Amino acid sequence: MRTARIPLETKPWRGAAAQLGSPRLTLALMALLAVCVIAVSRDFGPPAWILATPLALLAVNLAGALSTQPAFRTHSALLLFHLALLAVVALAAAGRLTYLKGAVELSEGEEFGGVLTQRESGPLHGDVIERVAFTNLGFTVYYEPGMKRAQTRNRVAFVDSSGAHREAVIGDDTPLKLSGYRFYTTPNKGFAPDFVWAPALGGPPVRGTIHLPSFPAQLTRQEIEWTPPGAAQALLTRLEIEERIVDLEKSWLLRPPREHALIIAAGREHVVLRPGESHRFSEGTLHYAGLRLWMGYSVFCDWTLPWLLAACALAAGALGWHYVVRFRREPWQSADPGPLACP
């Protein structure tokens, strides 16, 4: 039995694909995407959700065009450019599902133990940050006249993937990369009084630091309320800097002041502590060991980064290739756009 062959152009799916891949629809969807981008800029909601609809529709439109538009069969660079755009959208979506963004503060000498103070992540982020460890070995931040922050250099120690102990210098634009996580220094940093707390009811003494507000951003508000481990009463701790460490006229280096005191208020009781001094409060004895610095780090993880870079580079390269081939073929003086030219 012989069956009639349906011409390709009359297959029903082909008609639907041609409609879905219509270049006029592309223009309408671009306009929709523009409206959604403006909505994102006006904080109408999470960018990922607002942009998902027009980008998905553009992806369907492109899929339809790829299967029906003859231009894509004859212009391989144009095809490559659009496929790379599709890959960018898919990778950006995958990145939003699996990313992590967070922050952590570490005093000098303190080790990061995998716990972030702030975090947001995609629903499919596979958390391995608990296994990431590094130590803040200390940092320098220079300021130029007029309180302009210059380079931050932070020495860190870590164990690399081969198990070797290593040190590196990181900064605002030079991250520490561990297990896919990137740790950057930030402008958020300050002074960290180092205490030893010995509970009055016995038990081992506890050593640790508290982080005063960011310096010099909060120059005049260097105080914080905190509660020692196991205690009920909060201690309001204020740093009194007794020397000039900030100079608006000259360059200066951020460092803990040598001349300083801590004013500690526990209820009505006020105590002045200098490095090496102790005081017995009702719930325990507080020993002030000295002043250190703390650094705030931003943490970022997105496995799609190198792939996104590759897809974007491919898109830009293919676009250039497409236009070079097209324009070399036809001098502009004799150019005729033709019945259905590609862009």
Partner 1 sequence: MNLELMALWGAIGVYALAGSLAIGGVVLRRLPQRWVFSLIVLGLTLHGVSIGLRWERLGHGPFITMYEILSSNVWSLLAIFALACWRLPALRPAAAIVVPLLFVMMVWLVLQSPRAGHLPPTYNTAWLYIHVGFGKVFLGAVLIAVGLSGIVLARLTRHGAAWFATLPADRQLDELAYRFLALGLIFETAMLLTGAIWAQDAWGRYWAWDPLETWAFLTWLLLAFALHARSTLRPAPPVGAVLAIGVFVLAFLTFFGVPFVTTAPHQGAI
> Minimal CA–CA distance to 264: which of 241, 239, 299, 289?
239
Question: Can residue 78 be called a binding residue for partner 1 (CB under 8 A)?
Answer: no
Q: Which stretch binds partner 1 (CB under 8 A): 4-12, 115-123, 250-258, 300-308?
A: 300-308
Output the smallest distance, CB 116 to partner 1, in A.
13
The amino acid sitting at 114 is: G
Question: Can residue 94 be called a binding residue for partner 1 (CB under 8 A)?
Answer: no
| Spatial contact of 174 and 151, defined as CB atoms under 8 Å apart | no
Give the span between the Cα atoms of 65 and 214, in whole angstroms: 54
Stretch 150-189: interaction string toward partner 1, x if CB under 8 A: xxx------------------xxxxx------x-x-----
Output the smallest distance, CB 254 to partner 1, in A.
13
Question: Can residue 253 be called a binding residue for partner 1 (CB under 8 A)?
Answer: no
Comparing CB distances to partner 1, the nearer of 7 and 337 is 337
User: Residues 12 to 31: which contact partner 1 by CB under 8 A?
Assistant: 23-24, 26-27, 30-31
Instruction: Out of 7, 10, 13, 41, point to the residue binding partner 1 (CB under 8 A).
Output: 41
Chain centroid offset of residue 251 CA: 29
> Minimal CA–CA distance to 36: which of 51, 16, 21?
51
Question: Can residue 70 be called a binding residue for partner 1 (CB under 8 A)?
Answer: no
Tell me the two tokens of residue 164: 């070797």
Helices (H) and strands (E) in the chain, counts: 6, 16
Question: Can residue 213 be called a binding residue for partner 1 (CB under 8 A)?
Answer: no
Comparing CB distances to partner 1, the nearer of 220 and 333 is 333
Question: Can residue 146 be called a binding residue for partner 1 (CB under 8 A)?
Answer: yes
Residues recorded for the chain = 343
User: Residues 50 to 69: which contact partner 1 by CB under 8 A?
Assistant: none
Give the span between the Cα atoms of 330 and 323, in whole angstroms: 11
Give the span between the Cα atoms of 169 and 112, in whole angstroms: 16
| Spatial contact of 120 and 101, defined as CB atoms under 8 Å apart | yes
Q: Is 156 helix (H, G, I), strand (E, B) or coil?
A: strand
Comparing CB distances to partner 1, the nearer of 16 and 335 is 335
Question: Can residue 97 be called a binding residue for partner 1 (CB under 8 A)?
Answer: no
| Spatial contact of 299 and 102, defined as CB atoms under 8 Å apart | yes
Q: Which residues bind partner 1 (CB under 8 A)?
A: 23-24, 26-27, 30-31, 33-34, 37-38, 40-41, 47, 101, 144, 146, 148-152, 171-175, 182, 184, 298-300, 305, 308-309, 312-313, 315-316, 319-320, 323, 327, 332-333, 335, 337, 340-343
